[in-house]
Each structure stands twice: as C-alpha cells, then as structure tokens.
Amino acid sequence: MAEEKTAREKNEAAKQQADVKPAVVDFTDLTKKNQDYMFHLDKELDQRKYAQKNEALSKVHAELLEKQKTGIVATKLYGPVTKKADEIIAGPKKPAKIPTLWEMALDNGLMMFALFCAMYAIFGVFSKNSNQTNAGIITLIATSVVAGIGLGYFYRQMLGQQKQRNWGRVILNVIILVAAWMAVFGLVGIIPPSVNVVLPPVAYATLAIIAFAVRIYVKKRLDIPNPADLARQTNDNNKK
C-alpha cells in the first residue's frame, strides 16, 4: 500500500510539473537592448509575484521579436519596465471610446456657454453700456450651440487616423463652420433687445456656474474623455 501511494504521489507530482510552463529565459534572438529590457521585465514581474509571468513574457517576447525587425526598441514600444509591468498585471486596456458628434457637441456647447456667461458677467460689471444687444441671452445660446457643434466636428476629425484625414476637406469644413458661427452671431444681432434680453451680471455668473456643473455631470454620465487624453490614447492605438 505504501509503495502504491508513493507511486501515485510521484505520478501526480510529475503531472503537475508537466502543466507548469517553463520559464522564459532565452531572449538571445533579441537585440542587446531588448534582451536587457526583457531581463528587467522578468525581474520586475518576479518581484511582484505575478502568477502568469511566463505566459506574459512569451507574448511580449514574440511581439518584440517581430517589431525589432523594423528597428523598434522595447523602451520606445512599451515605455519604462515598471509601466509595462503595470499594464501586464492590470490586463489589456479598453479601446479608446470616441464620443459621437452630438456627445462632443453637447460637451463643447456647455463649455462655450459657461465661458460666454462668465465673459458677459465680467463685461456687464465693467461696461458702462450693459444693454448691448450682442450680449443678449439668445445670442449666447445660439452662438454656444453653433460653437459646440463646430468644435465637436473638429475634434472628431482630428481623432481619425492620420492616413485617412482629408486635410483639404477638414480645413474647408472648419471655414464653413466659422462662417456659420459669424452669420448666426450677426443674424441674432438684429433681434430686438426686448426679445434678446440682456441679463444682469449676477444672472450670467450664476448661469456660468450651473453650466459648468452640468458639464461635469454630463462628462461623467456619458463617459466623455478630454480631447487631449482621447487624442493621446487614439494615437497610441494607431501605432500598435
């Protein structure tokens, strides 16, 4: 019985060893810089006691072996070793979400509305003639809507892959949007002051605060990233 038990234990131990993947230690097919990077990445994952280290190193090794054919080094492809280790442990990043035109138009429209309200509040305090038609509430709303749509379109065009951008078309559309904004501003200017009411500075300041708070809520609710962050994520994805 003892001999059978010992044999069974040896078989189980052998089976467990067979299931364990061998450590990835041979990076001799990489360049010296890439070998050094993989060595430190191996050490970093060891220090963090990452269970799937061997599998992760195998994937990085295979990808790096292919990329180095075009002269790319690991530090340029992955960044610092600690950053790559963080990405491996945290798992793959979700692809960057590009908001729809109307989401970006809403976000930018609220931003412009808040800025215009703050500007009107300041002008209302320091301007002697505070009843100017071009400072009316209808002017503010109309120009904010047009500016929001224009900026939303512009950002979406800039977030496309560079090879797919038709710069001539982008510039033409931007010119059209600027012309539309100026036309709306001019048309609203003929609306009589009795309709295009100029609010007191305090009211504009209050609207600016409300618009800013609503924008923060909308960004969180719709998960709208900042254009700069979104552009950086999109460019990183396009490089891969």
Looking at the fold, whether 131 and 216 belong to one and the same domain comes out as yes
Looking at the fold, whether 20 and 110 belong to one and the same domain comes out as no
Query: If you write DSSP's letter for every residue of the chain in order, what string do you get?
Result: -HHHHHHHHHHHHHHHHHHSPPP----TTS-HHHHHHHHHHHHHHHHTT-TTHHHHHHHHHHHHHHHGGGT--HHHHH-SHHHHHHHHHH-PPPPPP---HHHHHHHHHHHHHHHHHHHHHHHHHH-S----GGGSHHHHHHHHHHHHHHHHHHHHHHTS-GGG--HHHHHHHHHHHHHHHHHHHHHHTTS-TTTSPPPPHHHHHHHHHHHHHHHHHHHHHHT---HHHHHHHHHHHHH-
pLDDT, residue 11, reads 53
Inside any domain, residue 1: no
Looking at the fold, whether 67 and 171 belong to one and the same domain comes out as no
Looking at the fold, whether 80 and 112 belong to one and the same domain comes out as no
Looking at the fold, whether 188 and 208 belong to one and the same domain comes out as yes
Inside any domain, residue 2: no
Number of domains in the chain: 2
Looking at the fold, whether 79 and 120 belong to one and the same domain comes out as no
Looking at the fold, whether 25 and 61 belong to one and the same domain comes out as yes
Looking at the fold, whether 133 and 228 belong to one and the same domain comes out as yes
Looking at the fold, whether 112 and 228 belong to one and the same domain comes out as yes
Inside any domain, residue 133: yes
Inside any domain, residue 218: yes
Chosen domain end from 23, 57, 90: 90
Looking at the fold, whether 203 and 113 belong to one and the same domain comes out as yes
pLDDT, residue 109, reads 93
Instruction: List the pLDDT tens digit at each of the 240 positions of the chain.
Output: 445 445 555 555 444 444 444 444 567 788 888 888 888 888 888 888 888 888 888 888 888 888 888 888 888 888 898 888 888 887 766 666 778 888 989 999 999 999 999 998 888 887 765 555 456 888 889 889 988 988 888 877 776 554 455 677 777 877 887 888 788 877 877 888 888 888 889 999 999 999 999 999 999 898 887 766 666 665 555 555
Looking at the fold, whether 123 and 195 belong to one and the same domain comes out as yes
Full residue range of the structural domain in which residue 199 is found? 101-239
Chosen domain end from 47, 62, 90: 90
pLDDT, residue 181, reads 77
pLDDT, residue 22, reads 43
Looking at the fold, whether 171 and 62 belong to one and the same domain comes out as no
pLDDT, residue 75, reads 87
Inside any domain, residue 96: no
Inside any domain, residue 163: yes
Inside any domain, residue 116: yes
pLDDT, residue 17, reads 43
pLDDT, residue 126, reads 79
